[in-house]
């Protein structure tokens, strides 16, 4: 039998590139489509030359064309960090709306299964805690995060419309804060931002008093959840995330400790004002994922942080050496 073909939009991004690796390892042909607005060809450079992998540089808000059979379409294209989507709010709205429409139309034309990468942000600054999939959320449509949150809410709505109206085989994945190798040090999310500051010899900046909470999931756990969700028979949204909740201040202190162990550097913490609409608490209820997928996270934060921080430290050292030798 020929290999299944999986198209991954946003395939050169942090999560998309890990998905390319996983689907190739599972024996799929993988086609990554990305316009590189927040991603990088570096994330998939190791796959160039693999006969089962193809990269198409393309903006998925425009018509998507791929020759031949396609079995799965995973729509992951979208700026994902608050700093990124504040820089490109209109592209963010377009990729969540027009891009989702194009990706759905493409999946329908190919009779493929479709998955949308949605987000815990659709719950906004939640009044229900932890967040179950049945919670409708508390989102400010005209706030700074509105461009991302509302685009993702629209993406879920149009996904359900394609399912109900066209019978498309769809999956809605609600991802909670995920971290790991290949995040960009300058993407502004809490972990890379803390490590980036520490590597530059600056203090880590905690926003507000740091009492807001998040629940961080290591990338390999998320990828396993995605693989299982794609192969499960459900069209309802499913939360995938790690329910281990921590305040941002305690998270910064954990990073401080690991930085000290790995590099010997002492890093300080300074405080900056909390950005508007920054959710006060976030923790996934993963009962549905456990029941439907038999999934739960395996990598604890100490281990995941160590692996990710080691990646950042090595990458920075490599770039520094390259820079030094280029200058000499
Ligand atoms: P990322 O920025 O690393 O990856 C997104 C990729 O999409 C990038 O490579 C970017 O260049 C590409 N892209 C953006 N607009 C595009 C367009 N119009 N056409 C083609 N490509 C385009 O971010 P990520 O963290 O890997 O996030 C991937 C997906 O997962 C996003 O949809 C995001 O909303 C979702 N998500 C991520 C998290 C997380 O914690 N990482 C949490 C919730 C949801
Ligand atoms: N945060 C922080 N310092 C930073 C970056 C982020 O204190 O340098 C905070 C941010 O205000 C939020 C939390 O860390 O409360 C997680 O931020 P991130 O951007 O990683 O994800 P999101 O807010 O989208 O969950």
pLDDT tens track for 191-210 = 999 999 999 999 999 999 99
Q: Is the CB of 241 under 6 A from ligand 1?
A: no
Look at residue 278 and tell me whether its pLDDT is greater than 60.
yes
pLDDT at position 323: 42
CA 178 to ligand 1: nearest atom: 40
> Rg for the chain (alpha carbons), in Å?
19
**Which of 1-5, 16-20, 147-151, 207-211 has the weakest average pLDDT?**
1-5
Higher pLDDT, 320 or 141: 141
**Which of 110-114, 241-245, 321-325 has the weakest average pLDDT?**
321-325
Average pLDDT over residues 38-63: 98
Distance 261 CA to ligand 2 centre (A): 23
pLDDT at position 265: 84
Q: How many CB atoms sit inside 10 A of residue 164's CB? A: 11
pLDDT, tens only, 214-267: 999 999 999 999 999 999 999 999 999 999 999 999 999 999 999 999 988 899
Strand-pair partners of 115: 74, 171
SS3 state at 205 = strand
pLDDT at position 290: 98
Q: Is the CB of 248 under 6 A from ligand 2?
A: yes
Helices 301-327 and 190-199 pack at an angle, to 10 degrees, of 50
pLDDT at position 1: 66
To the query of whether residue 148 is one of the catalytic residues in this protein, the response is yes
pLDDT, tens only, 211-221: 999 999 999 99
Buried b (16+ CB within 10 A) or exposed e, 169-207: bbbbbbbbbbbbbbbbbebbbbbbbbbbbbbeeeebebe
Look at residue 326 and tell me whether its pLDDT is greater than 60.
no
Domains and CATH numbers, the chain: 5-179+218-242+283-298 (3.40.50.720)
From the candidates 85, 123, 148, 162, give the one annotated as an active-site residue. Answer: 148
Average pLDDT over residues 163-183: 98
Look at residue 325 and tell me whether its pLDDT is greater than 60.
no
Instruction: Read off the pTM.
Output: 0.96
Q: Confirm if 216 and 177 have CB atoms less than 8 A apart.
A: yes
CA 177 to ligand 1: nearest atom: 40
Look at residue 321 and tell me whether its pLDDT is greater than 90.
no
Q: Is the CB of 120 under 6 A from ligand 2?
A: no
pLDDT category of residue 319 using cuts at 50, 70 and 90: low
Look at residue 115 and tell me whether its pLDDT is greater than 60.
yes
pLDDT, tens only, 284-301: 999 999 999 999 999 999
- Which numbered ligand comes closest to the C-alpha of 178? 1
Q: Is the CB of 190 under 6 A from ligand 2?
A: yes
DSSP type of residue 43: G
Average pLDDT over residues 156-182: 98
Distance 5 CA to ligand 1 centre (A): 21
Distances (CA, A) of 216 to 120, 262, 266: 12, 21, 24
CA 152 to ligand 1: nearest atom: 34
pLDDT at position 54: 98
């Amino acid at each position: 039998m020929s290999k299944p073909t999986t198209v991954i939009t946003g395939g050169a991004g942090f999560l998309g590139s890990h998905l390319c690796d996983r689907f190739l390892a599972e024996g799929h042909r993988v086609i990554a489509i990305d316009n590189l607005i927040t991603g990088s060809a570096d994330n998939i450079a190791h796959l160039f030359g693999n006969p089962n992998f193809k990269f198409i540089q393309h903006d998925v808000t425009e018509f998507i064309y791929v020759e031949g059979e396609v079995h799965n379409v995973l729509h992951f294209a979208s700026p994902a960090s608050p700093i990124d989507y504040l820089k490109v709010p209109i592209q963010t709205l377009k990729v969540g709306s027009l891009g989702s429409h194009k990706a759905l139309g493409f999946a329908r034309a190919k009779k493929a299964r479709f998955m949308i990468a949605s987000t815990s942000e659709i719950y906004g600054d939640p009044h229900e805690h932890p967040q179950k999939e049945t919670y409708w959320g508390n989102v400010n449509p005209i706030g700074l995060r509105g461009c991302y949150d509302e685009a993702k809410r629209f993406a879920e709505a149009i996904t359900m419309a394609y399912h109900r109206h066209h019978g498309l085989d769809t999956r809605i994945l609600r991802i909670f804060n995920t971290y790991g190798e290949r995040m960009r040090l300058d993407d502004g999310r809490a972990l890379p931002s803390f490590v980036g500051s520490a590597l530059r010899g600056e203090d880590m900046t905690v926003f507000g008093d740091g009492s807001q909470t998040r629940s961080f999931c290591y990338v390999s756990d998320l990828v396993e959840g995605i693989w299982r969700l794609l192969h499960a028979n459900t069209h309802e949204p499913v939360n995938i995330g790690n329910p281990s909740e921590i305040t941002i201040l305690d998270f910064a202190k954990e990073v401080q400790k690991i930085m000290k162990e790995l590099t010997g550097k002492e890093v300080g913490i300074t405080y900056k004002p909390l950005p508007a609409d920054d959710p006060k608490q976030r923790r996934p209820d993963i009962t549905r994922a456990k029941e439907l997928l038999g999934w739960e996270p395996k990598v604890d934060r100490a281990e995941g942080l160590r692996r990710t921080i080691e990646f950042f430290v090595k990458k920075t050292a490599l770039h520094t050496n390259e820079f030094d030798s280029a200058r000499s």
